[in-house]
Amino acid sequence: MINKVWKAMGVLGICTCLTLGIPAETRAAEIAVETSTTLYARIDSSASVRDIPLAGGQVLTQVTEGQSYEVAETSKDGWLKIRTSQGEGYIQSSSATLIEKTQEKVDQSVKQRREIVDYALQFVGGRYVYGGVNPKTGVDCSGFTRYVLKSAGISLSHSSRAQSGEGRTVSYEQARPGDLVFYGRNGSINHVALYMGEGRVVHASTEKTGIIVTNVMYRKPVKFVSVLN
């Protein structure tokens, strides 16, 4: 009786570990954001902008209190070089306050790829139907990738073998989210999945499993193809 209890607890422990290993929510990785900081001079009192950092320099223009200008060179010997509509020139450092402004720039290509993966992930749990073209009602592997990439304006054939010849071939190391991963047997391609990045794919797998997320190496990939920029 005791042995049976320990065996039951052991099975329960294994199931618990497997459950904990499955993420509660699958989604694409965060979009890479490029951050840049620019220095500006906010004018505290009206000043003359001169062509050289000397009081006797030629006056290029005037700046007035409350205006802001991008700084070309930081303060040196009491002078600050700024960019104006009349060109770059110098003002006395005492006439302005320096302000840092941070800007974020999102790579639009990265953004598009993440949006494609996120769009695909909403169908996880859907049915696999051979010849199906819509993941909302049932879809096969190439029907799934065709449907998902159509949302990004990409037209693909409804065949994994045909899709493998569309776009450009990339290596596993070069593969990015939104690229296609092809699998095969005996030299013939018979399955396609959408690469998510970080070694994972989302695909319409089989009638038993439906649309799922798996490791890209659940089978040995035959080819990686990019149909995106």
Whether the predicted pLDDT of 112 surpasses 80 = yes
For residues 88 and 152, give the distance between their C-alpha atoms in angstroms, rounded to a whole number.
44
Residue-wise pLDDT for 114-169, tens only, equals 999 999 999 999 999 999 999 999 999 999 999 999 999 999 999 999 999 999 99
Query: In the chain, at which residue ranges do the beta strands (DSSP E only) sit?
Result: 33-43, 47-50, 59-63, 68-76, 79-84, 87-92, 96-106, 133-134, 138-139, 168-170, 180-185, 188-197, 200-206, 210-215, 221-226
Q: 151 with 116: CB under 8 angstroms?
A: yes
pLDDT per residue as tens digits for the range 33-88: 667 889 999 999 999 999 999 999 999 999 999 999 999 998 889 999 999 999 99
